[in-house]
Amino acid sequence: MRKLVFKVIVSVLLFCAISVQSQTRVWNIEKLNQAKSLTSEAAKFILREADRALSADILTVMDKETIPPSGDKHDYISAGRYWWPDPKNPGGPYIRKDGVVNREIDKFDRGILGSMAKSVKDLSVAYYLTSDERYAVKAVQNLKIWFLNPSTKMNPNMNFGQTISGRNEGKGRGEGIIDTYSFIDMLDAIELLKNSKSYTAGVSEGLTNWFSAYLNWMMTTEIGNEEFTAKNNHGTAFDVQATRYALFVGKEEIARKYIADFPERRVFTQIEPDGSQPLELARTTALGYSTFNLTHMLDMCCLAKSLNVDLFNSKSADGRSISKAFDFLSYYVGKTESHFPYKQIKEWDSVQKKLCWQLYRADKFLTKPVFVKFYRNKISDSDKDDNVLFY
């Protein structure tokens, strides 16, 4: 049934292009406008990051040592984060250790993709805050290097995303598509570049073509369908990415279809009436993944809001909702690991901070804040965190 839904979306909507107004979709543009005074610690911090990016050269998919099974280094390749050599079978297929990152992933493309996206974000925000064209020039240069220049660009596919040594003949998995989630913030950053003379019609057309091709790949391939049918945070992240890319390339009808289906397909199937997320709570970093999934859901709510659709307040007949999921997690804010009846094998304090920021975001969708008591003393405008600027 899910494959049928996937195919219907593809056949009916894929080539339906509707012009949409350029705008940030996830970030709060009013907060960014307030930051133009450059008095906040977050604004000062991102300018320092942008200044470093001005003099730095980004790496590309062509710089990796590993050659993908296709033989084309333009194809992105990454390794599964939690997969390790099997001590009982040296040289055999890797085995999974959930929550324990194998740093072999650093040998592939995932890190450099994230670094490129961050550089574009920092430079674009710095340009928006200061109107200094140098930042825009560098941001556009990095975009050209990664997406447009024939000698260095990434091919618009994830055919080898999150491969596992010794498994699946070196092919990628649906899970690999989440590697490009950093493009969500990057595309909002690109919107800030559009008043720059450096962001030419040729650059705009080239990026539109690239993301149209990538969206097409996501919606028409076996690997894409694998991620589309994922029942946990991966399925959520797929929908957010597809929606954002559709909006970026002017295919609003595709975006609206994903948004319309989101409550039934993601929210009501992943969140229980008590607010728990069983598939995320089953992980060894249960608080982290529960927060991670809700972050994606809030991103989708922001995309929907940009189209005047209230997704956040969707509620099933038996009480499943995004707000209920935040109720469930908020109980553990300010408590120690011993109070958490699930596993969180690392990063308890940093995940608590991330949860507080998402509670802050959640309150923005409510007529009256209900979570403020949980985050009031945990986050502030004096933070260097990007969230101060964007939310």
Q: What is the pLDDT of residues 157-209, one digit of tens each?
A: 999 999 999 999 999 999 999 999 999 999 999 999 999 999 999 999 999 99
**To 5 degrees, how large is the angle CA 62–CA 65–CA 71?**
70
> Is residue 22 over pLDDT 80?
no
For residues 101 and 32, give the distance between their C-alpha atoms in angstroms, rounded to a whole number. Answer: 34
The kind and range of the H/E element at 301 are: helix 286-305
> Residue 15 has what pLDDT?
40
> Residue 6 has what pLDDT?
54
Average pLDDT over residues 231-244: 98
> Is residue 14 over pLDDT 60?
no
Q: How confident is the model at residue 341 (pLDDT cuts 50, 70, 90)?
A: very high
Higher pLDDT, 336 or 9: 336
> Which backbone phi and psi does 18 adopt, to 5 degrees?
-130, 130
Q: How confident is the model at residue 277 (pLDDT cuts 50, 70, 90)?
A: very high
Q: What is the maximal distance between C-alpha atoms in the chain?
A: 59
At position 334, the amino acid (one-letter code) is G
> Among 293, 316, 302, which residue's Cα sits nearest to residue 361?
302
What percent of the chain stands above pLDDT 90? 91
Mean residue pLDDT of the chain comes to 94
**SS3 of the chain: helix, strand, coil, percent, to 5:** 60, 5, 40
Q: Is 18 helix (H, G, I), strand (E, B) or coil?
A: strand
For the chain, which domains are there? Answer: 2-390 (1.50.10.100)
> Residue 381 has what pLDDT?
81
> Residue 23 has what pLDDT?
81
Q: How far is CA 305 from the centre of its chain?
A: 17
Cβ–Cβ contacts within 10 Å for residue 3, how many? 10
Per-residue pLDDT reduced to its tens digit, 29-48? 999 999 999 999 999 999 99
Per-residue pLDDT reduced to its tens digit, 282-333? 999 999 999 999 999 999 999 999 999 999 999 999 999 999 999 999 999 9
Q: How far is CA 96 from the centre of its chain?
A: 23
Q: How confident is the model at residue 3 (pLDDT cuts 50, 70, 90)?
A: low
pTM: 0.94
Using only C-alpha atoms, the chain has a radius of gyration, in whole angstroms, of: 21
**To 5 degrees, how large is the angle CA 156–CA 189–CA 234?**
50
* 117-131, 197-211, 367-381, range with the lowest pLDDT: 367-381
> Among 367, 25, 373, 1, which residue's Cα sits nearest to residue 189?
25
> Among 335, 234, 321, which residue's Cα sits nearest to residue 276?
321
> Residue 55 has what pLDDT?
96
